Chain A
Amino acid sequence: MNRLRFYFFHLMPYPYIPPAADIDSSWVSLSNKHYDPQRGRILYEEYIDQLVASERYGFDGAVVNEHHANFYGTMPSPNIIAAMLIQRTRHIPIGVIGNAIPLHGNPLRVAEEIAMLDVISGGRIISGFVRGIGCEYFNNGVPPGDSVARFDEAHDLIIKAWTDDGPFTWQGEHFYIPNVNPVPRPMQQPHPPIWIPGQGSLETLQFVARHRYTYMMVFAPLWFTKMAFDGLREECRRLGYEAPKSMFNACVPTYVAETDEQAHREAKAHLSWVFNTGLKIPDQLFFPPGYMSTKSFRNFVGALKAGKVKPQQQLSYDELVKDRYIIVGSPETVKNQLGEYCDEVGAGGILAVGSSYGPMPNWMVTKNMQIFSEEVMPEFRASDGKPDYLREEPVAPRTRAELAALKGRPPEAARSRVTGADQLIDHRVAHLPEVIDASMRGHDWSRDEERPASAG
């Protein structure tokens, strides 16, 4: 039987923009005057509710990501959304897939924020790292040509910051940090699981294989995903190991309704928006100079010319369905197509399942979630229908009582020198008269005589 994990991957689109035909791009150049914060607030509220609900419906994870200056995905800071989700959910893993680490002045900020989220959530964070798409480079001063080198260096720095005892000095080509010593450290050891989204480039596949991370294929036709996954399996074999299925995730927007016809009726306009409007990006914004090496650019343009791939904004709905960019249909159809996806590409997880596609109304998102979780999900689960994470022991004690039973008294009680006391005071008992009163003897509370001379 096929096992698959399903992740509720939200992009948080802002759909109140002119139709695709009337704009050059929904990224970079489309003015933010189109963003109405009052509409935005209600959208955020609905989207966050949907992500929170994904736990109740039984998804394997709730996933957010980072994009800038666009209307396709309004989460410039995904860690902020993740912070809300860990407070409103109990056990579900939260994926930040991912932080665009080359874009940040100091990657240590990402190490710190993910560690905070991981500690506070009790080790529920999946940490994705991305370069950011080409458009993202127009928003800051990082030259697109530095993208890969900065990604590699920021990654190495973050992993070392999480795994080596600090402080240490980072002497890189792009980052210099005299004292690396992030507090807190992450809960999961040695660090949160790492996912790397990719578009099938060999460099990324080799990176993933080398580090044994989880690969996440972004929107792509099935044949292309298969090619990339086969390539990754090959790279892993070259390094002497068989890649487990859990290393392979694919992003396939999925919509299920009562019948095939009804499902297409409901999904067509909204899913088309995602590709044709939300991803309407002119080439020069998608590939700023240097974002791709000349060699990769040559391969890519070659594939375009040969008609092997088509820009997403030009894909018709029928092509989206036929090439399995998306899976839409009755529960039976969706089960079959997901099964085929497993068999053909060897995926271990599917993302973008059931989330809000472009302007899709909230009720439709909820309907999709319910039918999917009740009629599709169990097909790919053990007979009890449980997501795997509920079978695993939590990384950290969830209650103070468990912590006390497990760890007893803290290894080092907080102690400090208090004015007027002869010995270090133990803060656990610092309020008891026999401990603190001696230090207060002779103190006249009406006068300020304890102020140190240097402060005067």
Chain B
Amino acid sequence: MSYIDAIDKVEVPRPPKYYTPPRFETVSGLPIAYRREGSGEAVVLLHGAGFTRMWIPLYQMLAAGCDFIAPEQPGFGETPMPKWFRNFDDLTLLYDQLFEQLGLDRIHLIGFSMGGWAAAEFASFYPRRLKSLSLITPVGLRLPDNPGVDIFQLAPAELMDRLFMDKAVMRDFLPDPDNFDEGIHLYSEFSAAARLMWAPRYNLALERRLQRLTCPTLVVGGEVDRLVPNEMSDRYAEVLPNSRLVRIPGTGHEPCLERPRELADTLLGFIAETK
């Protein structure tokens, strides 16, 4: 079977600011878009459910201190969504193969939001591939007393409002509401997110599987996250072996965009300690 035949082809618009053309690495017939710059320790960052296709300030800052690689998950950015792609297991295997093909043996793995869940899944299956694991406002665990808001029920404006504590930085990254193609692409990215996360919004096995980790782990939370409850990062920090929790002041769910300098320093500092 050719996986390429089973891919939903979409027109991918380019964000007006911070766009850079990606490189592609074909894995299982799927051309995975990724961006890679810098030298030193190999650091991979798995993005959240949006703000793709951009070489954002955080990436520039991280690339100044390491060999920084940011792949785009199936259905996001310029990586197409294959029909066979169903769940985090598929994603984990895809990343393992991607890292293999990019010559990455042991890495520092960072995951943000949905990418935090993806990073936690990867870590639980391949703990010996990791030198460190950093999760930024991740999702994926069950909070019995506080399931949080249903992101798929939020109107776009409310979603944006909840993402940022610092509304001033929001403007640079907001999708252009008048760009027809961008609206369609957003829907397709959300569809890709829903394929992984519609139900359930957690993996109950994760808490147990994460006990396999031996590397140092860092959890970064926002100051007041109005999208994913702060308890989520608390819970990750509780569950992860060898973990530390840091909250970045002035941030909501998007420390990556809201306080890139502080976040980059925190991440690079942590990586330096662990290498």
Q: Which residues of A contact B (CB under 8 A)?
A: 28-29, 137-138, 140-145, 282-285, 287-290, 292-295, 297-298, 301-302, 305
Contacts and interface: CB of A to CB of B under 8 A. Distances in A.
Contacts of A301: 180, 183-184
Contact of B153 (A285, A290, A297): A285
Contacts of B8: 293-295
21 contacts: A29-B153, A137-B198, A141-B198, A141-B199, A141-B200, A143-B195, A283-B155, A285-B153, A289-B191, A289-B192, A290-B190, A292-B187, A293-B8, A294-B10, A294-B184, A294-B188, A294-B191, A295-B8, A297-B187, A297-B188, A301-B184
A283 B157 CA distance: 12
Given A138-B150, A294-B188, A301-B184, A145 B195 contact: yes
A132 to B, nearest CB: 14
Contacts of A305: 180
A289 B152 contact: yes
Contacts of A295: 8
Contact of A287 (B10, B154, B187): B187
Contacts of B147: none
B204 to A, nearest CB: 14
A176 to B, nearest CB: 15
B184 A298 contact: yes
Contacts of A140: 199
Contacts of B184: 294, 297-298, 301
Question: What size tier do the contact residues of chain B reach?
Answer: 20 to 34
Interface of B: 8, 10, 150, 152-156, 180, 183-184, 187-188, 190-195, 198-200
Given A143-B198, A144-B198, A138 B153 contact: yes
A28 B190 contact: no
A69 to B, nearest CB: 12
Nearest to B188: A294
Nearest to A288: B152
Contacts of A284: 152-156
Given A289-B152, A294-B8, A144 B183 contact: no
B72 to A, nearest CB: 16
Contacts of A283: 155
A301 B195 CA distance: 21
A289 B180 contact: no
Nearest to A137: B198
B20 to A, nearest CB: 24
A284 B190 CA distance: 11
Contact of B152 (A138, A141, A142, A302): A138
Given A287-B187, A289-B152, A294-B188, A143 B180 contact: no
Contacts of B192: 289
A288 B187 contact: no
Nearest to B159: A284
Given A141-B199, A142-B198, 9 more contacts: A140-B199, A142-B199, A144-B194, A283-B155, A289-B192, A289-B193, A294-B10, A295-B8, A301-B183
A116 B155 CA distance: 43
Q: Which 9 A-B pairs have the closest CB atoms?
A: A141-B199, A289-B190, A290-B191, A143-B198, A289-B194, A289-B191, A294-B188, A290-B194, A298-B184
Given A143-B194, A144-B194, A145-B194, A28 B153 contact: yes
Nearest to B183: A301
Nearest to A144: B194
Nearest to B180: A305
A191 to B, nearest CB: 30
Contacts of B152: 138, 284, 288-289
A97 to B, nearest CB: 27
B153 to A, nearest CB: 6
Contacts of B188: 294, 297
Contacts of B154: 284
Nearest to B200: A141
Contacts of A288: 152, 194
B199 A294 contact: no
| Residue in B153, B155, B188, B190 with the greatest tally of chain A CB atoms within 10 Å | B153
A301 B183 CA distance: 9
